[in-house]
Amino acid sequence: MPASADPNRPMKLVILDRDGVVNFDSDQYIKSPSEWKPIPGSLEAIARLNQAGFRVVLATNQSGLGRGLFDMATLNAIHAKMHKLLAQHGARIDALFFCPHAADANCDCRKPKPGMFEEIARRFNLANLEGVPAVGDSLRDLLAAVELGAQPILVRSGKGERTLAAGGLPPNTLIFADLAEAVDYLTAKAA
Active site positions, annotated: 17, 19
Alpha-carbon gap, residue 56 to 92, rounded angstroms:
8
List, edge to edge, every strand of the sheet that includes 95-99: 95-99, 55-61, 13-16, 133-136, 151-155, 174-176
Burial 41-67 (b: 16+ CB within 10 A, else e): bbbbbbbbbbebebbbbbbbbbbbbbe
